[in-house]
Amino acid sequence: MKIAIDGPSGAGKSTIAKLLAKKTGMLYLDTGAMYRALALKTYKTNTSIDDISAIEKILDSTQIEIDNSVVPMRIYLDGEDVSEAIREHHISALASAVSALKPVREKLVELQRYIAAKSDCILDGRDIGTHVLPDAEIKIFLVASVEERAKRRYEELRVKGCDCEYETIKQDIIIRDYNDMNRQISPLKKADDAIEIDSTFMTVEEVASEIERLIAKEKR
Ligand code: DC
């Protein structure tokens, strides 16, 4: 069984997907982490995302590896564990920009499909239900109000000791939503056969239970 969870940033996709993976034993792949790893590489190498031939060279020479044998999964960039580094605030906007590039999407989608083909799995991202796994048995489009998403991200960053502003985070989310929804290739969009869940007033457990009900129904 394949489960696709798509939606805008901060809607709770990865939290829900991780919990479901734990409950069901299914493999979980955070596809956003892959775009983030590549964004980190462009940052480290000082590569402009407008320089497509340089980006293509990076794609050819970069190794992105996912270790799903540990929870939470670890991501390696050219052998280095970058699981924390890719979550830095400045990488989020860069990941959104990098993810709009055609060669980047082609390469990472291929890798995502290769990983997903191996077992039952839950993938979260922006284009899983529409493009990466169009035949997924369960497709969820997880949304929440921008205020709630900004609040969640703000609290998450504060816990990590980040001295950030709620308003800045909210504006960053608005810009990222716009970019992710309006890019030319595989924009963030609800698949026609996806079920929309609005998590604004729901707990993580409530959202997970709703998806578990769908899994049980699918298995019948
Ligand atoms: O889910 P995230 O915030 O970690 O994703 C980082 C960026 O990567 C996001 O702004 C859009 C992009 N992304 C994408 O285009 N397609 C995916 N399947 C996953 C993420």
Domains of the chain from N-terminus onward: 2-207 (3.40.50.300)
Q: Which two tokens stand for residue 11?
A: 């809607």
180 in contact with ligand 1, CB cutoff 6 A: yes
Q: What percent of the chain has pLDDT over 90?
A: 90
Q: Is the pLDDT of residue 70 over 90?
A: no
| Ligand 1 atom 16: residue of nearest CA | 126
Query: What tens digit of pLDDT does each residue of 71-130 get?
Result: 788 999 999 999 999 998 889 989 999 999 999 999 999 999 999 999 999 999 999 999
Given a cut of 90, whether residue 167 has pLDDT beyond it is yes
Q: Which residues contact 32 (CB under 8 A, 6 or more apart)?
A: 14, 95, 124, 125, 126
Q: What's the CA-to-centroid distance between 88 and ligand 1, angstroms?
A: 14
- CB of 127 closer than 6 A to ligand 1? yes
* CA dist., res. 121 & res. 124, Å (int): 10
Buried b (16+ CB within 10 A) or exposed e, 92-111: bebbbbbbbbeebbebbbeb
Residue 110: the pLDDT is: 97
Q: How far is CA 62 from CA 10, 80, 107, 144, in A?
A: 28, 11, 11, 34
pLDDT in tens, 10-19: 999 999 999 9
Beta bridge partners of 66: 75
The reported pTM is: 0.95
Q: Is 153 in the pocket of ligand 1 (CB under 6 A)?
A: no
For the chain, give the mean pLDDT.
95
Return the ligand 1 atom nearest residue 9 CA: 3
Whole-number pLDDT of residue 171: 96
